[in-house]
Structure formats: C-alpha cells, structure tokens
Amino acid sequence: MKKFLSVTLAAAMVLSLAACGSSSSNEADSTAAGAAEDKTYVIATDTVFAPFEFTDEENNFVGIDVDILDAIAQDQGFKYELQSLGFDAAVASLESGQSDGVIAGMSITDERKQKYDFSEAYYDSYVCMAVKDGSDIQGYEDLEGKTVAAKTGTQGADCAESLKDQYGFNIQYFDESSLMYQDVVTGNSVACFEDQPVMAYGITQGNGLKIAAEEQENFSTPYGFAVLKGQNQELLEMFNTGLANIIENGTYDEIVAKYTNAE
C-alpha cells in the first residue's frame, strides 16, 4: 500500500511538472512514464508530402502525420518540436542523432528495420507510377530510353531502381515530391514514382498527373514512426500507446477524414 502511494505521489509530481512545461503543443494531462523527463523531442518530417505533411493556404504546416503526432503527444503528455526537413534529410537527421524520431509517411521496410525501430503501422500505402495527364505512356514497357523522376531515399526510388535495367530507362532524382511532379509536367521526365495515397491526393488537387502503374505486390508497405534502433524506446512506446488511444477514441479517424475527404 505504501509503495502504491509513493508511486502515485511521484506520478502526481511528474504530472504537475509536465503541466508547467513550456511547450506550445502540449496541453496534455496524461500519465505516460516518459513525461517524467522534461524533454522536448525533436521529430523530423518531410516538407511537401500531402496529405501527410504540407503547408496549407493559411501558411500552417498541417497534415495527417502532423495531426497524429500532435494528438499522440497530447494523449501521452510529451513535448516535441517538429522539423520539416525533407524525407532524405529527415532520415539523415535521425541517423546523426540530430532528431529523436521521424514521422514522414515513412514505409516500414525490412531493410530499414535493420537500422530503425518502427512504431505500429498507422497507414497503408504502396508505390505507383504516375505520368502527365494525357501522356500515352501506359506502363513500364513504354519507358525505354526515357527518363523518370524519383525522390531520393524513398521506396518510390527503390521501385524505379528495381525496374530500370529491365525496361531501359534513366532516373533523375529529386529531394521534394513537388519538384518531381513538376519535372513530369514540364516533360523532362515522362513519369515519376510516388506513394499511391500521396499521388491520388495530388491528382485530386490538380497536379496534372495520372496513375499509370501500381505496385501493390512488391512495394506495398504501411507507414510507421521511426526512431534509431535501440534509441528513444520511451518515445516509441508513448507513440504506440498514444496511437492505440487515438484510434480507440476516434481521433485518428477524424484526422484522416479531415485530410482525405476534403474536396
């Protein structure tokens, strides 16, 4: 009984300390163990990867990843600073210890699991190839001798690399999805490789592209939140617990609906 009381007291002290924290994004009142530390986690993300992260018309940085992270942080009572770096740069910052975690529509792949620990999956995705709307490219067979665009360090790039020799095309690399699409619209590249949910959203937003091939078998991998292998396990645990909570209480569905049901 005594032990129970002191634990409760300690938890209460942690809570009041956490409540005094100076984070802009933390109004949480929850009892996560990790809240014991008055730490601000640095989380790295992509720049333009709508609907997961992007800057809206009011110049706010928003998206499914952005809102999920915030909801989880509130649920679990941890503070964070979100840094929008680009996908490859976000992963590099995690690797060099400049950030504690990455949420960037990051696919949970076996290869990446050697270097990172991932949360539970929070969104299903697969790679697709998109071409300019009106293009007569119908599939990989039409890519011979042509250039396609891919984003450095992504699954889309892996997919393009895996097909390159067989179909005889070249790859032009970009750091941002938007630049990759632009290259296809201007006609320098005849196609680009991108995650299907992102491309489908972009098409509804009028990016001028259409989907020409889908890789639901070989490049189908859900998204997860990543930390460096063996590091920041308390953050990973809080993410998983918070994710389960926001799925359970409906917040997760609200967030996804907010970004995917928009006109």
Residue listed under structure tokens 């396609």: 148
CB contact burial 169-179 (16+ within 10 A = b; e otherwise): bebeebbbbbe
Task: Choose between 36 and 121: whose C-beta lies nearer to ligand GLN.
Answer: 121
The torsion of the CA quartet 197, 199, 200, 204, rounded to 10 degrees, works out to 130
Residue 137 token pair: 């490219």
Question: Which of 67, 117, 195, 234 contacts ligand GLN by CB under 6 A?
Answer: 195
Angstrom distance (rounded) from CA 182 to CA 186: 6
Burial class (CB in 10 A: 0-12, 13-18, 19+), 144: exposed
Task: Choose between 65 and 75: whose C-beta lies nearer to ligand GLN.
Answer: 65
Minimum separation from the CB atom of position 151 to ligand GLN (A)? 5
Judged by CB under 6 A, the stretch of 25-33, 128-136, 151-159, 240-248 that binds ligand GLN is: 151-159
Question: Which of 74, 155, 189, 207 contacts ligand GLN by CB under 6 A?
Answer: 155
Task: Choose between 26 and 177: whose C-beta lies nearer to ligand GLN.
Answer: 177
Task: Choose between 73 and 104: whose C-beta lies nearer to ligand GLN.
Answer: 104
Judged by CB under 6 A, the stretch of 30-38, 150-158, 161-169, 239-247 that binds ligand GLN is: 150-158
Residue listed under structure tokens 């994710």: 243
Q: Kindly report the number of other CB atoms within 10 A of residue 118's CB atom.
A: 23
CA distances in angstroms from 152 to 88, 159, 167, 178, 185, listed in the order given: 6, 12, 20, 13, 19
What are the residue ranges of helices labelled H in the chain?
2-19, 64-76, 87-95, 110-113, 155-167, 177-186, 196-204, 233-248, 251-260
Task: Choose between 93 and 125: whose C-beta lies nearer to ligand GLN.
Answer: 125
46 binds ligand GLN (CB under 6 A): yes
Task: Choose between 26 and 155: whose C-beta lies nearer to ligand GLN.
Answer: 155
- Binding to ligand GLN in span 58-117, by CB under 6 A: 87, 104-107
Minimum separation from the CB atom of position 174 to ligand GLN (A)? 10
Question: Which of 43, 122, 151, 181 contacts ligand GLN by CB under 6 A?
Answer: 151
Angstrom distance (rounded) from CA 101 to CA 216: 27
Minimum separation from the CB atom of position 251 to ligand GLN (A)? 22
- Which amino acid makes up residue 29? D
Task: Choose between 29 and 56: whose C-beta lies nearer to ligand GLN.
Answer: 56
Binding site for ligand GLN (CB under 6 A): 46, 49, 87, 104-107, 125, 151, 154-155, 195
